[in-house]
């Protein structure tokens, strides 16, 4: 039998983007408020919930019930779960279903992305492109989507040539985060989200690292108060970075901390061997060590981050990495500039800077130290 929902006070974080500003509402049991939030972002009466099969089974009914109670006609469109389905074929079949609804949709039709980052990215891209743009809401259900993917308006599908190569910046009208949904999330997925939380602490707020460190047990038990607070703090950090730099010209690059080497490690070890969160964990360790060797980051601060990652069950060691291969992949990253590797390095507790002069030898030494 499912545990009864334990409600917490609803927290609101605003993403400030001028006339495209929106609220992120966070709490336990807030999925029941979806209908109310939908009424705030459209005058229409049709809401189309997009979810993968797993999330549709778990939370589809709660979402459509809330919409129906608020007077919406609610439709649920599903697709098979998994990153491998974040592609043009899924996009196309969702679009076919959306455009064959009767009566035909108009520009007031609301899209609701219910699920993890895959769903947010693909449903957001449907919202961005159907009828040249429909209102949409994000209802993330993974920790990664709560603290990272649901804020910032990046939508995309993958292409055989690379991840997220087809997409658009398209901000939602609001985000509703029910932390109760995290209780059904596999623990490895929870860890993936925690890697991004550690990243936020390193780049903006060292006290967040302390808060995670003192709450490891309640976090893994998905305590509603602790999760509401954790998600709200992380959303506030991501929202502030996005508000500063919506289109990734400057500060938003700081969110790539751990990801430059992380992507290299993820690809060099063969996609699927390491999860994204595990690769980012190793990437954060390696990039911190580059910073320590440069003398710009304190060794004890770096050690503290590593200890926290370990406590969270994220890897900090890996043997057998081919440094040449990792470096080659880093040079071809879409964020590299003309083959020059750009890397975000920590410069103090809660501060980072972007460097474009990182050399192969520094990265190779950091990778070797992971072994």
Ligand X SMILES: NC(=O)c1ccc[n+]([C@@H]2O[C@H](COP(=O)([O-])OP(=O)(O)OC[C@H]3O[C@@H](n4cnc5c(N)ncnc54)[C@H](O)[C@@H]3O)[C@@H](O)[C@H]2O)c1
Q: Is 361 exposed, middle or buried (0-12, 13-18, 19+ CB in 10 A)?
A: exposed
Per the annotation, the verdict on 256 as an active-site residue is yes
Q: Minimal CA–CA distance to 136: which of 144, 151, 145, 126?
A: 126
Which residue in 259, 289, 304, 306 is the catalytic one?
A: 259
Per the annotation, the verdict on 248 as an active-site residue is yes
Q: Please check whether residue 283 is in contact with residue 305, taking contact to mean a CB–CB distance below 8 angstroms.
A: no
Site for ligand X in 170-189 (CB under 6 A): 181, 184-185, 189
Which residue in 86, 191, 238, 304 is the catalytic one?
A: 238
**Contact track, ligand X, 69-108, x by CB under 6 A:** ------------xxx--x----------------------
Per the annotation, the verdict on 252 as an active-site residue is yes
Site for ligand X in 337-356 (CB under 6 A): none
Site for ligand X in 188-227 (CB under 6 A): 189, 192
Per the annotation, the verdict on 234 as an active-site residue is no
In the complex, least distance from residue 184 CB atom to ligand X, rounded to whole angstroms = 4
Q: Which stretch binds ligand X (CB under 6 A): 33-41, 149-157, 316-324, 348-356?
A: 149-157
Q: Per residue in 275-302, is it b (16+ CB within 10 Å) or e — as a string?
A: bbbbbbbbbbbbbbbbbbeeeebbeebb
Extended strands (E) in the chain: 11-15, 22-27, 46-52, 73-79, 110-115, 136-140, 154-159, 162-169, 174-178, 343-348, 351-355
**Contact track, ligand X, 271-300, x by CB under 6 A:** ------------------------------
In the complex, least distance from residue 145 CB atom to ligand X, rounded to whole angstroms = 4
Give the C-alpha separation, 125 to 274, whole Å. Answer: 27
Q: Minimal CA–CA distance to 128: which of 102, 101, 98?
A: 98
Is 240 a binder of ligand X (CB under 6 A)? no
DSSP 4: P
Per the annotation, the verdict on 191 as an active-site residue is no
Is 154 a binder of ligand X (CB under 6 A)? yes
Which residue in 11, 25, 154, 304 is the catalytic one?
A: 154
Is 118 a binder of ligand X (CB under 6 A)? yes
Q: Which two tokens stand for residue 249?
A: 């010209």
DSSP 273: S
Q: Please check whether residue 146 is in contact with residue 115, taking contact to mean a CB–CB distance below 8 angstroms.
A: no
Give the C-alpha separation, 144 to 151, whole Å. Answer: 11
Q: Which stretch binds ligand X (CB under 6 A): 13-21, 113-121, 316-324, 340-348?
A: 113-121
DSSP 114: E
**Contact track, ligand X, 298-327, x by CB under 6 A:** ------------------------------
Which positions lie near ligand X, rule CB under 6 A?
Answer: 52, 54-55, 58, 81-83, 86, 115-119, 121, 141-142, 144-145, 148-149, 152, 154, 163-164, 181, 184-185, 189, 192
Task: Show which residues are catalytic.
Answer: 132, 154, 196, 238, 248, 252, 256, 259, 263, 276
């Amino acid at each position: 039998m499912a545990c009864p929902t334990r409600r917490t006070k609803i927290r609101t974080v605003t993403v400030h983007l001028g006339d495209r500003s929106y609220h992120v509402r966070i709490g336990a049991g807030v999925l029941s408020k979806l209908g109310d939030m939908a009424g705030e972002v459209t005058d229409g009466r049709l809401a189309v919930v997009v979810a993968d099969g797993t999330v549709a089974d778990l939370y589809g009914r709660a979402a459509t019930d809330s919409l129906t109670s608020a007077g919406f006609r609610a439709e649920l469109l599903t697709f098979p779960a998994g990153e491998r389905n974040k592609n043009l074929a899924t996009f196309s079949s969702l679009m076919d279903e959306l455009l064959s609804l009767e009566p035909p949709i108009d520009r007031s039709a609301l899209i609701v992305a219910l699920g993890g980052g895959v769903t947010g990215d693909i449903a957001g891209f449907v919202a961005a492109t159907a009828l040249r743009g429909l209102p949409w809401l994000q209802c993330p259900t993974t920790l990664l989507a709560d603290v990272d993917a649901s804020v910032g308006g990046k939508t995309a599908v993958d292409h055989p040539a690379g991840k997220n190569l087809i997409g658009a910046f398209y901000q939602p009208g609001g985000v509703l985060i029910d932390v109760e949904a995290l209780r059904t999330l596999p623990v490895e997925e929870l860890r993936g989200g925690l890697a991004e939380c550690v990243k936020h602490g390193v780049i903006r707020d060292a006290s967040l690292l302390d808060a995670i460190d003192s709450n490891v047990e309640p976090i893994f038990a998905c305590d509603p108060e602790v999760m509401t607070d954790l998600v709200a703090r992380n959303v506030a950090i991501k929202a502030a970075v996005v508000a500063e730099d919506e289109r990734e010209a400057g500060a938003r690059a700081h969110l790539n901390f751990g990801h430059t080497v992380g992507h290299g490690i993820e690809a060099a070890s063969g996609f699927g061997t390491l999860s994204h969160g595990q690769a980012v964990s190793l990437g954060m360790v390696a990039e911190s060590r580059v910073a320590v060797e440069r003398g710009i980051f304190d060794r004890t601060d770096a050690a503290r981050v590593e200890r926290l990652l370990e406590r969270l069950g994220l890897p900090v060691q890996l043997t057998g990495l081919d440094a040449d291969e990792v470096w080659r992949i880093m040079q071809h990253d879409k964020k590299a500039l003309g083959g020059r590797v750009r890397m975000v390095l920590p410069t103090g507790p809660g501060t980072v800077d972007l460097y474009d002069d990182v050399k192969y030898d520094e990265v190779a030494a950091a990778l070797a130290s992971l072994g």
